[in-house]
Amino acid sequence: MSELTTMTVQILGKPYQVSCPSDEVDALSASARYLDSKMVGIKNSGKIIGLDRIAVMAALNIANELISAEATARDSQEATASHMDNLAHRLDLALARLRQQPEA
């Protein structure tokens, strides 16, 4: 099991101490930067006031991105599976034709 590391991330200019496994520090840093950029964008739009409201809107936007990405991945997997089935069928037909040809 990986050892825990405590690090400080900045979200909307405020420091937050967070612990995570040592091998996930880079991923946590990237996640914090991404969250910060989303929250800064929402704050700068001027339409939403209050840290908790900004955080909720950022969370909803990120959740929507995740759900959309999962749907895209699922569609891609289904298209790939369909393509693979088609290729397998074509290979089966080609092999059947080869088996039916008389030997020279």
Q: pLDDT, tens digit, for every residue of 88-97?
A: 999 999 999 9
3-state SS record for 33-75: HHHHHHHHHHHHHCCCCCHHHHHHHHHHHHHHHHHHHHHHHHH
Q: What is the pLDDT of residues 14-63, one digit of tens each?
A: 999 999 999 999 999 999 999 999 999 999 999 988 999 999 999 999 99
Could you tell me which CATH class the domain 4-100 is placed in?
Answer: alpha beta
The Cα 80–Cα 74 span in angstroms is 10
**What's the pLDDT at 103?**
74
pTM for the full predicted model:
0.75
Distances (CA, A) of 83 to 72, 76, 78: 16, 10, 9
